[in-house]
């Protein structure tokens, strides 16, 4: 059936696109990365404390506190959706985790069988309580993510409205289960919990290590699996994705579940650093997370984004915050500046794409 080719096609009319006009060099992520590098140099000269080990650890830890959730929301943004429920999800997962941990460790709790030595059975296996409680925290995130995905992909509700509702539902449930007081990690595994969420390995903050692992995984998933390809196709042209036989509904549900799980994990890590999960924890964090993703180059119209951009966005936000503190500028300026940067980043990208 295949026709013999007279000769391989010659590209007489179609030039090759120059290397600096494609890939990362032609992306908003590239520009923002450049801006970040410039900013780091400026900071170095502006404050002798900036590049000290202690400050770097601080920066690494602080941006890791929103970056994992940013990775998750980036998946959703690439498909052209939005998830406003991440802040509430962080709080609720953290709260459930610490409540389950305390409950399973408490002698006399109706859920727990006592062993002969007066401890609960679960407490006799080191780390088991921790494991069960983290799974419980992620479990509620999974359920909320499934509900988001179901409403959006199957019922066809708008992502903005659905997740706005979920923001309120999950925050409300957090107040309900804790009676508005929040909760604290407790019991024999609490030390493991603190070590696993806010400890260091060879001077590197643990959250930063989680972030790197997850970001690398995300890069592989997005660019080297068919799931990742379908995520991009969905954001590029949803109708085309459907016509070519991509399981659109499944992919959509999956991205909202991934986003909710990332937010849940992020919340659990933050609660380890805070030492508690107050009921108003991570309020309005969804805005920081979405801002970081957008600054890093994720396009709210869909089809563009990635882990590098998500991290660059988070680092930029944190360096600015940190820099303002070191420069002894009132930290109230931070929010204003973040807003300016969001608009600038998108503006620069718009100007660039007009020029080519």
Partner 1 sequence: MAHADTTPVLELSGIGKEFGAIRALHDVDLQVLPGEVVGLMGDNGAGKSTLVKIIAGNFRPSHGEIRFAGNAVHFSRPVDARAVGIEVVYQDLALADNLTAAANVFLGRELKRKFGPVALLDHKAMAARALELFGELRSETRPDDLVKQMSGGQRQAVAIARTRLSNARLVMMDEPTAAISVRQVEQVLGLIHRLKEQGVAVMLISHRMPDVFAVCDRVIVMRRGEKRADKPIHETSPEEVTALITGAKEAA
For partner 1, the binding residues (CB under 8 A) are 1-3, 5, 8-14, 16-17, 22, 220, 223-226, 229-230, 232-233, 235-237, 239-241, 243-246, 303-304
Tokens linked to 101:
């941990």
| Rounded Cα gap, residues 86 and 257, in angstroms | 11
Q: How far is Cα 239 from Cα 248, in angstroms, rounded to an integer?
A: 9
Q: Kindly tell me which of 139 and 247 has the beta carbon lying closer to partner 1.
A: 247
CB of 301 to partner 1, least distance (A): 10
Residue 335 CB contacts under 8 Å (≥ 6 apart), including other chains: none
On whether the CB atoms of residues 84 and 167 are closer than 8 A, the answer is yes
What single string gives the DSSP state of each residue in 225-253?
SHHHHHHHHHHH-HHHHHHTT--HHHHHH
Cα–Cα separations (whole angstroms), residue 67 to 207, 263, 291: 9, 10, 11
Query: Which C-beta is closer to partner 1: that of 3 or that of 355?
Result: 3
Q: How far is the CB of 210 from partner 1 (least distance, A)?
A: 20
Residue 26 DSSP label: G
Is the distance from CB of 336 to CB of 89 less than 8 angstroms?
A: no
Q: How far is the CB of 79 from partner 1 (least distance, A)?
A: 12
Closest CB 302 distance from partner 1, rounded Å? 8
Cβ closest to partner 1, residue 5 vs residue 116? 5
B/e letters for 114-131, b = 16+ CB within 10 Å, e = fewer, are eeeeeebebbeeeeebbe
Interatomic CA distance for residues 301 and 307, integer angstroms: 17
| Shorter beta-carbon distance to partner 1: residue 3 or 202 | 3
Q: How far is the CB of 242 from partner 1 (least distance, A)?
A: 9
Q: Which of 239, 235, 222 is nearest to 299 (CA)?
A: 235
Q: Which residues contact 254 (CB under 8 A, 6 or more apart)?
A: 149, 227
Whole-number minimum distance, CB 245 to partner 1, in Å? 4
CB 339 within 8 A of CB 346: no
Give the nearest distance from C-beta 235 to partner 1 in angstroms: 7
Nearer to partner 1, 168 or 217 (CB): 217
Nearest distance, CB of residue 226 and partner 1, angstroms:
4
Nearer residue to partner 1 within complex by CB, 59 or 241: 241
CB atoms within 10 A of CB 194: 15
Is the CB of 92 or the CB of 232 nearer to partner 1? 232
> Nearer Cβ to partner 1, position 31 or 50?
31
Q: How far is the CB of 217 from partner 1 (least distance, A)?
A: 11
Closest CA to 339 of 288, 303, 265, 296: 288
Indicate the residue among 204 and 300 with the shorter CB distance to partner 1.
Answer: 300
């Amino acid at each position: 059936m295949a026709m013999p080719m007279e000769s391989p096609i010659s590209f007489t009319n179609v030039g090759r696109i120059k290397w600096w006009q494609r890939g990362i060099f032609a992306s908003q992520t590239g520009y923002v990365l450049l801006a970040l590098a410039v900013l780091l140099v400026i900071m170095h000269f502006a404050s002798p404390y900036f590049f000290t080990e202690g400050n770097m650890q601080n920066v690494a830890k602080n941006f890791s506190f929103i970056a994992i959730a940013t990775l998750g929301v980036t998946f959703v943004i690439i498909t052209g959706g939005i998830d406003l429920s991440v802040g509430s999800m962080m709080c609720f997962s953290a709260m459930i985790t610490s409540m389950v941990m305390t409950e399973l460790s408490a002698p006399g709790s109706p859920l727990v069988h006592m062993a002969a030595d007066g401890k609960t059975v679960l407490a006799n296996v080191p780390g088991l309580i921790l494991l069960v409680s983290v799974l419980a925290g992620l479990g509620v995130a999974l359920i909320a993510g499934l509900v988001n995905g179901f409403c959006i992909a199957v019922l066809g509700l708008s992502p903005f409205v659905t997740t706005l509702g979920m923001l309120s539902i999950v925050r409300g449930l957090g107040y309900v289960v804790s009676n508005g007081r929040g909760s604290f990690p407790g019991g024999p595994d609490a030390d493991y919990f603190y070590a696993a969420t806010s400890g260091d390995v060879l001077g590197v903050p643990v959250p930063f290590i989680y972030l790197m692992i997850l970001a690398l995984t995300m890069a592989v998933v997005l660019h080297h699996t068919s799931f990742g390809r379908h995520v991009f196709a969905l954001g590029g042209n949803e109708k085309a994705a459907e016509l070519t036989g991509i399981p659109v509904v499944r992919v959509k549900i999956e991205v909202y579940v991934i986003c909710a799980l990332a937010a849940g994990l992020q919340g659990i890590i933050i609660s380890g650093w805070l030492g508690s999960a107050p009921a108003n924890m991570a309020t309005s964090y969804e805005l920081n997370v979405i801002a970081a993703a957008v600054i890093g180059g994720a396009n709210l119209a869909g089809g563009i984004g990635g882990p590098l951009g998500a991290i660059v966005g988070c680092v930029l936000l944190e360096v600015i915050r940190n820099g303002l503190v070191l420069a002894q500028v009132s930290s109230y300026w931070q929010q204003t500046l973040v807003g300016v940067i969001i608009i600038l980043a998108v503006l620069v990208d718009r100007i660039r794409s007009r020029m080519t």
